[in-house]
Amino acid sequence: MNQYTTPIEATFAMQRTVLEQSQRAVEQGFDLQRNAGEMLLSGIESQETFQRQGVEAAETAVESYFEAMETATPAGTNVRAFRENADEGFDRLKELHAESFDQLEASVEEALDGHDELSEESVTAMDEGMDELFAAHEQLQEGTVEMVEQTATHNEEFAERFGSQLDEQAERMADIQEQFEAQSDRQLEQATEFQEQLQSQVERFQEQLEAQAEQFETQVSA
């Protein structure tokens, strides 16, 4: 190692660092998308529990009302028939509630499974390609250092030519760094878009569920 090979090895080391950072950025981008989906799925499950408890509380209140009515009204009135209709309505509402959330969760899980499959294939292909790239990179470094050690002289002409080559290499590294930053930004945008798509799906489902609840309330009131 001498004054000429030292900066060459440092340059190759910096290149490897950029490549490794780029590889990690891609993997982290996939992880970010997965985490966003899992957080949304967890929120759906919590929302299902909360809404189911609300339906059950309403059912309990209606049952208490009809029990009081049956006690206070003479035999032969239609209170029992009204109560049976309400019970059937609540049974149907709970059934629709469970079915709707099951469909939503299945849809989100399917999207996550598809994302996992694509991520796994992409990461595997990237890892294989990066392994080959690192191997070729190491061979290039060894060959370059060996060539410089064999041919280097301390004359001014070589120093100027070598300095110019290092400047060009630094410019290429700057370009690689810009590409890496752009790739990181794209990964973040993709993760945000993926989360927004799932959130939009949940909002549409929520609107449908609210419409079903309003329809049920109208039927009970009638």
- Tell me: pLDDT of 60 over 80: yes
pLDDT digits (tens, 9 = 90+) for 62-119: 788 777 777 766 664 677 777 777 778 778 777 877 777 777 777 777 777 776 776 6
* Domains defined along the chain, listed by start: 5-221 (1.20.1270)
Query: 140-197, pLDDT tens digit by residue?
Result: 667 666 666 666 555 555 556 666 666 666 666 666 666 656 666 666 676 667 667 6
pLDDT tens per residue, range 181-216: 666 666 667 666 766 766 676 677 667 666 666 665
The Cα-based distances of 99 to 42, 51, 87, 105, 161 in angstroms read: 17, 13, 18, 10, 73
> Cα–Cα distance between 181 and 121 in angstroms, integer?
23
**Which backbone phi and psi does 124 adopt, to 5 degrees?**
-60, -45
